[in-house]
Amino acid sequence: MTTATLVPPPPPLSPMLARLADERATGALLRDHGTLYLDDGQVVHAESPAAPGLEVLLDGRLPQEGWQEAFDLAGPDGRVGRYLVDSGRLADGELELAHLGVLFDAAYFVLGPGGGPTRFRHGVAHWMGPVRPVPTRVLARECLRRRELLDALWPYPETDDSPVVRADTDFPYPVTRRQQDVLDLADGVRTPADIARLLGRAAFHTLVDVRRLAAVGAVATPQETPVPAPVALPQWMPQVTEDPDVALLRRLRNALEAL
Amino acid sequence: MANTEAALKEAMTSIEGTVGVALVDYTSGMALGTAGGSKELDLTVAAAGNTDVVRAKVRTMELLGLNEDIEDILITLDSQYHLIRLLKGRGNNGLFLYLALDKGRANLAMARHQLKKIENELEV
């Protein structure tokens, strides 16, 4: 028996990223929401202001002195990751899993829509050094899958970067322990990214929790764009004509012609 | 302590009857590593889909007020076993190991025992 397999369309990898991968480029790809670091055409690191870094996710596991020591000794050679393992500060698999988590988390924001123009600086390397390089195609496919996952949960992207507001009701929503942690920090000011940082969790994971919470009604879904309050017309306008815009335009035209 | 790739390869070779294995992040559904698999068993699809299984069970236990951790989940098919083992790491980000076994060749008790060993190797 043969099974028919549906071939999915190729992921929308940005042409620039595809070209850099083909050229096996090394350097930094800069966009509005962060930076991707490439080494030999593969992604080795990513950082974004929206996503907590490795130092946040490994808080409690690796003290500040550990980072400082690794940074001082191995930073100049761009081998901090390797040093953390070789010096026994972190186990191989532990660093790899934490680093992959950070890389995919930050890349989701860097490669997100509306990230502005893309620039590439050849030859720039991150001080972390390669841990487990990720092919650009794998990264692009995963970013797309994540976007689809969020939209499948609750199709309101505004939820992602607006302050998280708890719904004003006593109804006991069925939330998990992890979601409750998010809810406990929702003070109507903090965004999902702020909450992720406080919890020491990946930002994307918090987006998932917030969309699920919005879907069950435990947090409010923000309006897409706040409707601007109607501007009060000057007192004289309605007296001139029923259609103030036309009158205003006529007056402007007349004034301009008189110049 | 092994890296992910080595640990998953070890699972493939040391656990009798293994068809495929994946290490999965259960919030995002992303496979952080896979080994084995086939045209009939797409491990990245299995990874994403099984996050819902784990999530449903975690939620049910919380609703029931069972204050316990899940060690593993077994799903028995006509010709396969699917074994999900939740990792209890220090950094507990919610990872699980997903193992697909050929029912005819696998020894379930042995597989569970060996999966536990691999979990210990992946963590510290």
Contact A82, A71 (CB under 8 A): no
Whether residue A25 is found in the same domain as residue A135: yes
Whether residue A135 is found in the same domain as residue A171: no
In chain B, the number of structural domains is: 1
Q: Best residue in B10, B27, B52, B55 to probe A by mutation, most A CBs within 10 Å?
A: B27
Return the pLDDT at A251. 75
Highest mean pLDDT among A2-11, A182-191, B90-99: A182-191
Whether residue A194 is found in the same domain as residue A141: no
Whether residue A95 is found in the same domain as residue A122: yes
Whether residue A142 is found in the same domain as residue A168: no
Q: What percent of chain A has pLDDT over 90?
A: 59
Residue A1 banded pLDDT, cuts 50, 70, 90: very low
The answer to whether residue A255 sits within a structural domain is no
The answer to whether residue A224 sits within a structural domain is no
Are the beta carbons of A145 and B48 separated by less than 8 Å? yes
Q: A91 contacts in B (CB within 8 Å)? A: 1, 123-124
In chain A, the number of structural domains is: 2
Are the beta carbons of B62 and A177 separated by less than 8 Å? yes
State the Cα–Cα distance between residues B45 and B68, nearest whole angstrom. Answer: 28
Whether residue A119 is found in the same domain as residue A180: no
Task: Check residues A14 and A207 and name the one with the higher pLDDT.
Answer: A207
Q: What residues 29-88 of chain A have any CB closer than 8 A to a CB of chain B?
A: 57-58, 61
Q: What percent of chain B has pLDDT over 90?
A: 53
Q: Best residue in A56, A92, A142, A146 to probe B by mutation, most B CBs within 10 Å?
A: A92
DSSP label at A165? -
Task: Check residues A60 and A4 and name the one with the higher pLDDT.
Answer: A60
**Torsion region of A114: left, alpha or beta (phi above 0 gives left; psi -120 to 50 gives alpha):** left
B55 touches A at CB < 8 Å:
yes
The structure's pTM equals 0.83
The answer to whether residue A197 sits within a structural domain is yes
Return the pLDDT at A3. 46
A5 touches B at CB < 8 Å:
yes
User: B62 is in which domain, residue-wise?
Assistant: 4-122
Whether residue A135 is found in the same domain as residue A178: no
The answer to whether residue A254 sits within a structural domain is no
Residue A205 banded pLDDT, cuts 50, 70, 90: very high
Which amino acid, B108? L
**pLDDT tens per residue, range A216-232:** 889 999 876 555 555 66
Which amino acid, A155? P
Whether residue A95 is found in the same domain as residue A212: no
The nearest CA of chain A is from the CA of B74 a distance in Å of: 22
Q: A97 contacts in B (CB within 8 Å)? A: 4, 23, 32, 91, 93, 95, 122
**pLDDT tens per residue, range A36-59:** 999 999 999 999 999 999 988 888
The structure tokens listed for A169 are: 């009701």
Among the ranges given (A31-40, A74-83, A152-161, B90-99), the one the predictor scored with the smallest mean pLDDT: B90-99
B58 touches A at CB < 8 Å:
yes
The answer to whether residue A24 sits within a structural domain is yes
Q: Best residue in A57, A62, A97, A153 to probe B by mutation, most B CBs within 10 Å?
A: A97
B122 touches A at CB < 8 Å:
yes
Residue in A5, A100, A177 closest to B32 by CB: A100
Whether residue A45 is found in the same domain as residue A137: yes
Please state the ipTM of this predicted complex. Answer: 0.86
Distances (CA, A) of B48 to A222, A229, B54, B108: 28, 44, 11, 24
Whether residue A78 is found in the same domain as residue A178: no
Residue A250 banded pLDDT, cuts 50, 70, 90: confident
Q: CB within 8 A of B109, min separation 6: which ones?
A: none
Closest residue in B to A95 (Cα–Cα): B3
User: A181 is in which domain, residue-wise?
Assistant: 158-216
